[in-house]
Amino acid sequence: PLVSMRQLLDHAAENGYGIPAFNVNNLEQVQAVMTAADETGAPVILQASAGARKYAGEAFIKHLILAAIETWPKVPLVMHQDHGQSPDVCKGAIGLGFSSVMMDGSLMADGKSIASYDYNVDVTRTVVDMAHKLGVTVEGELGCLGSLETMKGDKEDGHGTEATMTMEQLLTDPEQAADFVKQTQLDALAIAIGTSHGAYKFTRKPTGDILAIGRIKEIHRRIPNTHLVMHGSSSVPQDLLAEIRKYGGDMKETYGVPISEIQEAIKHGVRKINIDTDIRLAMTAAVRKFLHENPSKFDPREYLKPATAAAKAIVKQRYIEFGCEGQG
Ligand code: G3H
Ligand code: 13P
Ligand code: ZN
């Protein structure tokens, strides 16, 4: 059934696990996540970005998720809007039936320029007032996603900022986080700890100087009752990169967030872990391999089948790694 995000995250906090939130854009991704959850007994967070709603169309996104609920009625499922850029976008998602919304007030409505703290408080509180009356959960964001490394280069995810910022300025400030929660009364807070969206997060395996897991502990100590959210949490598996390259893809050397670091974060209040890129990599590797090995095939169902299976496999792996097995 459709459940509230708050309910799922409260349960995760009480039982010490984290829930991966998967971005979905099409039928195959929805089916991959649902079958993986069904087989592991995990709770589900399906999230749709503005890009997803544009790609599939609002009605398709809504009905794909409703179809998932109809097909797997026993699996607890949250329909979450990822990175809402304004209160209006959140209002639209609530109207569509989403049970949870993210108001990302860390950036202005253009999705590029960094917002002031006061602006962030204002828009987030507006969404909380509107959403809570309707039983809808609200996620906000404080801090600036993106690492010092990625800030220097050209960022492909639209979240790039001035290269002049220091690591300290990017990361979420624990004191400010406490004030933000007090002023907005949100349910979940996305924090910046050095991760960024997309495949190109780090040019080497991340260590403490570029991935600030320690910061999570400080934030959690200040706001123990607020569920923390980690964006940009794909692990960018090296075997998938190798497979993509082997079958004609062109991807530079890159590293994601190690699973062990996410598991450490879960011990300190991180309850929602956003993953999109890993599914993209898994599907692309499978499609490339299939078409390479079967050059005469042209039925999309034939190459989307291994792509769905590959997505399902990585989703299952994450459910198990984050402790979701049997929690649904
Ligand atoms: O926020 C980033 C997610 O990976 C969604 O990506 O905006 O390309 O759909 P997207
Ligand atoms: P990745 O690009 O690391 O998968 O992050 C996705 C995300 O944070 C969506 O909001
Ligand atoms: Zn994100």
Q: How far apart (Å, rounded) are the C-alpha atoms in residues 203 and 209?
A: 13
Chain segment 110-160, per-residue pLDDT in tens: 988 899 999 999 999 999 999 999 999 999 999 988 766 665 544 444 444
Q: Specify the residue with its C-alpha closest to ligand 1, atom 7.
A: 51
| pLDDT band at residue 168 using 50, 70 and 90 as cut-offs | confident
Q: Does the pLDDT of residue 276 top 50, yes or no? A: yes
- Tell whether residue 147 is among the known ligand binding residues: no
Q: What are 79's strand-pairing partners? A: 46
Q: How far apart (Å, rounded) are the C-alpha atoms in residues 326 and 37?
A: 9
Q: Is the CB of 25 under 6 A from ligand 2?
A: no
Q: How far is the CA of 73 from the centre of ligand 2 (A)?
A: 27
- Tell whether residue 233 is among the known ligand binding residues: yes
Q: Is the CB of 231 under 6 A from ligand 2?
A: yes
The complex's ipTM? 0.98
- How confident is the model at residue 160, as a pLDDT? 47
The beta strand positions in 231-310, using DSSP E, are 270-275
- Indicate if 110 belongs to the active site: no
Q: Which of 38, 82, 154, 239 is catalytic?
A: 82
- Mean pLDDT is lowest, of 55-69, 145-159, 184-198, for 145-159
Q: Specify the residue with its C-alpha closest to ligand 1, atom 3.
A: 276
Report, as an integer, the average pLDDT of 283-304. 98
The beta strand positions in the chain, using DSSP E, are 19-23, 44-48, 77-84, 100-103, 137-142, 188-191, 227-230, 270-275
pTM for the model: 0.95
Chain segment 207-234, per-residue pLDDT in tens: 877 888 899 999 999 999 999 999 999 9
Atom of ligand 2 nearest to the CA of 276: 4
Query: Rounded to the nearest 5 degrees, what angle is found at the Cα of 200, between the Cα atoms of 104 and 312?
Result: 80
Name the class of domain 5-321: alpha beta
Q: Specify the residue with its C-alpha closest to ligand 1, atom 9.
A: 51
Q: Report residue 263 as tokens.
A: 């598991």
Residues with Cβ < 8 Å from 307, sequence gap 6 or more? 28, 282, 283, 284, 286, 287, 290
